[in-house]
């Protein structure tokens, strides 16, 4: 077994985040595949992962909970060894639903706290109960039906969850600069983490730099560019076919995935690659035994194409849609 990965200290909060976490969004199917994710989590913990990235809307948290319980029972880990993130879904922005959703996540994750609770998107949708049906209420055009819950009020409810001991840290995901600044203006507990899309083709540098200056830790989602996404558009490039990345991988005797993940962590980011295959899960954490040179880092940085692949089309008409701003 590998030694647990390195960690990034949390400035605006408690503890530190292991640099490599396992993603648990299985893409296909409304409710995800919890059994597949359970096996992936078991393999990940055996491979040295101590960080799992979850969300209420992925529908895979029951699998994460079963894996955590099994590995704690086996004596491989304690709960304290693990860093578990979950996220507040769009249909639960009503401040009266925020802690209800987190408690629902805690039940499925089989734990009494998470380490990090993020607002998944700044896109409040029509209130729903915890049945998850529908995950996103849509209008006839396939756009999410918005709800009027101010982001500032949602943040206050997140702070209450922190005060109640349900989560050790709170943070944001997919917010733009103006939205981050609005939270900074009213918060009594600062956001400790920002989770955004980052890949070699999407550096997302401006929002990362802004949040870094505010003392937030930074997590790169879809760090491998979500190569198997079903909505890939014709002609969109795939990082795994990139000649620059392939050449650096050959020189380093590493895989393309390892080079990409190492690139991100040398930028000071936490990465949460998703895989359900044991060999890839192991591969994706074996990135602490080599270093990219400044020249290699510059060559990879030059691949940026500003190619965002998570555009969240259900939010296109929403007044808080985050990606109409420059960053």
Ligand X SMILES: NC(=O)c1ccc[n+]([C@@H]2O[C@H](COP(=O)([O-])OP(=O)(O)OC[C@H]3O[C@@H](n4cnc5c(N)ncnc54)[C@H](OP(=O)(O)O)[C@@H]3O)[C@@H](O)[C@H]2O)c1
Do residues 208 and 269 make contact, with C-beta atoms less than 8 angstroms apart? Answer: yes
Q: Show the CA angle centred on residue 151, arms to residues 127 and 55, nearest 5°.
A: 60
Q: CA 174 → CA 97, 136, 154, 190, distances in Å?
A: 20, 17, 15, 16
Rounded-to-integer distance, Cα 204 and Cα 86, Å:
22
Length of the chain in terms of residues written: 327
Q: What is the DSSP string of 173-237?
A: ES--HHHHHHHHHH-SS---EEEEE-BTTB--HHHHHHHHHTT-EEEEESTT--TT-TTPPTT--
Q: Quick one: which segment of 4-12, 71-79, 221-229, 291-299 binds ligand X (CB under 6 A)?
A: 221-229
In order of 48, 146, 176, 177, 207, the CA distances from 325 in angstroms are 39, 19, 7, 8, 11
Specify the residue, 10 or 226, whose C-beta has the smaller distance to ligand X.
226
Contact 24, 41 (CB under 8 A): yes
Q: Which stretch binds ligand X (CB under 6 A): 93-101, 131-139, 280-288, 289-297?
A: 280-288
The answer to whether residues 170 and 195 touch, using CB atoms and an 8 Å cutoff, is no
Q: Is 218 in the site for ligand X (CB under 6 A)?
A: no
**What are the structure tokens assigned to 223, written together?**
């760090």
Contact between 223 and ligand X by CB under 6 A: the answer reads: yes
Sole binder of ligand X in the list 103, 210, 212, 280 (CB under 6 A): 280
Q: How far is the CB of 23 from ligand X (least distance, A)?
A: 2
Q: Which of 14, 96, 228, 313 binds ligand X (CB under 6 A)?
A: 228
- How far is C-alpha 144 from the geometric centre of its chain's CA atoms? 21
Q: Is 120 annotated as a binding residue?
A: yes
Q: Does 311 bind ligand X (CB under 6 A)?
A: no
273 lies in the site for ligand X, by CB under 6 A: yes
Binding of ligand X by 201 (CB under 6 A): no
Catalytic residue among 49, 58, 201, 321: 58
Q: Does 269 bind ligand X (CB under 6 A)?
A: no
Minimum distance from CB of 277 to ligand X (Å)?
Answer: 4
Of 23, 61, 70, nearest to 42 (Cα)? 70
- Is residue 58 annotated as a catalytic residue, yes or no? yes
Of 10-18, 230-238, 275-283, 289-297, which part binds ligand X (CB under 6 A)?
275-283
Binder among 45, 114, 147, 257 for ligand X (CB under 6 A): 257
The verdict on 173 binding ligand X (CB under 6 A) reads: yes
d(CA 10, CA 5): 16
Residue 275 interacts with ligand X (CB under 6 A): yes or no: yes
State how far the alpha carbon of 64 is from the alpha carbons of 119, 247, 248, in Å: 20, 36, 34
Which residues 12-71 are close enough to bind ligand X by CB under 6 A? 23-25, 53
Interaction residues for ligand X, span 133-172 (CB under 6 A): none
Q: Point out the annotated binding site for substrate.
A: 120
Residues making contact with ligand X (CB under 6 A): 23-25, 53, 120, 173-174, 195, 221-228, 257, 272-277, 280, 283-284, 310
Residues marked as catalytic: 58
Q: Point out the annotated binding site.
A: 120
């Amino acid at each position: 077994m590998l030694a647990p990965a390195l960690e990034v200290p949390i400035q605006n909060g408690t503890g530190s985040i292991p640099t490599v976490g396992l993603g648990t969004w299985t893409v296909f199917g409304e409710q995800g595949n919890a059994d597949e994710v359970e096996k992936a989590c078991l393999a990940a913990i055996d491979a040295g992962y101590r960080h799992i990235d979850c969300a209420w809307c992925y529908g895979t948290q029951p699998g994460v909970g079963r894996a955590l319980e099994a590995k704690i029972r086996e004596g491989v880990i304690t709960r304290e060894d693990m860093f578990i993130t979950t996220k507040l879904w769009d249909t639960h922005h009503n401040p009266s639903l925020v802690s209800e959703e987190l408690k629902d996540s805690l039940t499925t994750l089989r734990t009494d706290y998470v380490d990090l609770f993020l607002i998944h998107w700044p896109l409040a949708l029509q209130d729903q109960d915890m049945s998850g049906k529908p995950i996103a209420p849509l209008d006839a055009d396939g756009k999410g039906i918005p709800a009027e819950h101010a982001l500032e009020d949602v943040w206050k409810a997140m702070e209450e969850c922190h005060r109640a001991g349900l989560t050790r840290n709170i943070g944001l995901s997919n917010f733009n600069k103006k939205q981050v600044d609005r939270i900074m203006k009213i918060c009594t507990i600062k956001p400790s983490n920002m989770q955004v899309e980052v890949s070699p083709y999407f550096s997302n540098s401006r929002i990362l730099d802004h949040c870094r200056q505010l003392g937030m830790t930074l997590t790169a989602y879809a760090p491998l560019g979500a190569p198997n996404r079903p909505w890939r558009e014709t002609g969109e490039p795939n990082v795994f076919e990139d000649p620059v990345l392939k050449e650096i991988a050959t020189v380093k005797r590493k895989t393309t995935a390892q080079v990409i993940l190492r690139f991100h962590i040398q930028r000071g980011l936490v990465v949460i690659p998703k895989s359900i295959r044991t060999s890839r899960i192991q591969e994706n954490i074996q990135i602490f035994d080599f270093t990219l040179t400044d020249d290699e880092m510059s060559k990879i940085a030059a691949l940026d194409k500003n190619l965002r692949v998570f555009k969240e089309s259900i939010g296109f008409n929403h007044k808080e849609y985050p990606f109409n701003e420059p960053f």
